[in-house]
Amino acid sequence: MIGAGFMGAAHSQGWRVAPRFFDLDVKPEMAVLVGRDAERTQAAADKWGWAETATDWREVITRDDLDIVDIVTPGDSHAEIAIAALAAGKHVLCEKPLANTVDEAEQMAAAAEKAAANGVLAMVGFTYRRVPATAFAKQLVADGRIGEIRQVRAAYRQDWLMDADGPMTWRLDKSRAGSGSLGDIGAHAIDLAEYITGMQLDRVSGVLDTIVRERPLLGEGVGLSGTAAEERGTVTVDDVAVFTARFGVDGGYAPIASFEATRFATGRKNALTIEVSGSKGALVFNLERLNELEFYDATVPSNDQGFRTILVTEPDHPYLAPWWPAGHMLGYEHGFSHQVKDFMDGIATGAQPTPSFADGLHVQRVLDAVERSSAADSAWAVV
């Protein structure tokens, strides 16, 4: 695994736990953790259970005793690492968004397609697909339980940037992160809306804004070293993104969707919400209540209609059979175990795991279209 920060901890949890709960045909061994700072990387490896550490990913990916490379670094290094790892014959799991630009994502998707011809697989880590409630929502849509989809509303709201004197981090630097709330959390909303509905967006109209344009530079540890605490740096990414979109369909009604991504939603800690309205019913999911799915059945008599809450913890709900008895809740970290399961199943069978790098490229094109639309006074932009 290359990268040892917050997402490195989440992925490590997934690699550790998945083979202990799921009956995997091939089981991962946590061989090497790679980070730039040798001391901190070793501490992380000791904490999470990695056998070795290294500071140079270029040397690690050439080793014959390694089969998989997991990339959890900032977006500016995704393309270089993933393309090199695929060329070295390693299966690759890469955190979302796939890259910082469409050009980088296109190169990564092309490298993945070439590698797949030799049995080498690549997957992008849109983990919220693996929450049992969202997987169950997709199942209900596919089974026709809400009928023809007419409208989708999706939002990802956080408030961790509310303090205008909060420090600069790499996530606020476009050269490192690619974009702000749009790419960091908006990408999740886009992917989840497409995953649940089974449709892809093909045009968008949106606006981006940066609410706090300067923040303190606090030196090493937040990605900007050698700066005095009183100095301030320029925020070069968006703080909030709002856009409308159309799904592309072959004939019939093309549903409209609305999206919001913000890190300034006071009081919202990790509120990824999606509502899908159809001709026979509706579904509502909220990540802050991730074991629940709201379902509205419009086919029952009117005096029986109303949203009901399904507790998605039964053994026959997606992913849940190996876990705890019904009613015993899962959490944020379990999605990463489910991600490992799906990735390892793909490697074992030779089947392409999803979302693929091609799927990640599509999301990157949606993000790019939103930026282009905002720059053109919210004109519609084709994905």
Residues 218 and 244 in one domain: yes
Q: Which two tokens stand for residue 107?
A: 């190169």
Q: Tell me the pairing of strands 281-286 and 32-34.
A: unpaired
pLDDT in tens, 91-138: 999 999 999 999 999 999 999 999 999 999 999 999 999 999 999 999
Distance CA 290, CA 232 (A): 38
pLDDT of residue 219: 62
| pLDDT of 112 | 98
Based on the domain organization, do 320 and 189 belong to the same domain? yes
Q: Does 121 fall in a domain?
A: yes
Residue-wise pLDDT tens digits, 297-334: 999 999 999 999 999 999 999 999 999 999 999 999 99
Q: How many helices (H) and strands (E) does the chain have?
A: 11, 16
Residue 138 has φ and ψ, to the nearest 5°, of -60, -40
SS (H, E, C) 307-347: CEEEECCCCCCCCCCCCCCCCCCCCCCHHHHHHHHHHHHHH
Per-residue pLDDT of 186-230, as tens digits, reads 999 999 999 999 999 999 999 999 999 999 997 644 444 444 446
Does 305 map to a domain? yes
Compute the mean pLDDT over every residue in the chain, rounded to the nearest whole number: 95
Q: Is residue 344 part of a domain?
A: no
Question: Do residue 200 and residue 216 come from a single domain?
Answer: yes
Considering the domain architecture, whether residues 133 and 95 belong to the same structural domain is answered as no
Query: Total structural domains in the chain?
Result: 2
Is 228 in the same domain as 142?
yes
C-alpha separations of 287 from 8, 23, 129, 155, 284 in Å: 21, 27, 11, 11, 10
User: Do residues 121 and 142 both lie within one domain?
Assistant: no
| Residue 369 within any structural domain of the chain | no
First to last CA, the chain: 32
- Using the 3D structure, point to which of 90, 125, 160 is the last residue of a domain: 125
Q: Are residues 136 and 272 in the same domain?
A: yes
Output the domain CATH number for residue 19: 3.40.50.720
What's the domain range around 25? Answer: 6-125
Q: Where are the alpha helices (DSSP H) in the chain?
A: 6-21, 38-48, 57-60, 78-87, 102-116, 132-142, 174-177, 181, 187-197, 334-349, 357-375
Kindly state whether residue 108 falls inside one of the protein's structural domains.
Answer: yes
Whether 52 and 160 share a structural domain: no
Single residue among 106, 125, 144 that ends a domain in this structure: 125
Distance, C-alpha 77 to centroid of its chain: 17
The residue behind tokens 């090493």 is 220
Q: Is residue 364 part of a domain?
A: no
> 373 lies in a domain?
no
Catalogue the long-range contacts made by 219-222 (C-beta closer than 8 Å, 24 or more residues apart): 222/167, 222/168, 222/169, 222/170
* Sequence-distant (≥ 6) Cβ neighbours of residue 43 within 8 angstroms: none
Domain of 271, CATH number, reads 3.30.360.10
229 and 249 inside one domain: yes
Q: Which residues make Cβ contacts (< 8 Å) with residue 325, sequence separation at least 6?
A: none
221 with 249, same domain?
Answer: yes
Q: Is residue 376 part of a domain?
A: no
Rounded mean pLDDT of 343-361?
A: 98
What pLDDT does residue 223 have?
A: 41
Residue at a domain's end among 104, 125, 146? 125
Same domain assignment for residues 156 and 92: no
Give the predicted TM-score (pTM) of the model: 0.95
Q: In angstroms, rounded to a whole number, what is the distance separating the alpha carbons of residues 255 and 226?
A: 50
Cα–Cα distances in Å, from 42 out to 16, 37, 46, 94? 17, 9, 6, 22
Whether the Cβ atoms of residue 369 and residue 381 lie closer than 8 Å to each other: yes
For residue 304, the 8-state DSSP code is G
Dist. CA 12–CA 337, nearest whole Å: 9
Q: Quick check: 367 and 187 in contact, CB under 8 A? A: yes
What's the confidence (pLDDT) of residue 218?
77
Runs of H (alpha helix) within 169-219 = 174-177, 181, 187-197
236 and 193 in a common domain: yes
Residue 251 CB partners (closer than 8 Å, separation 6+): none
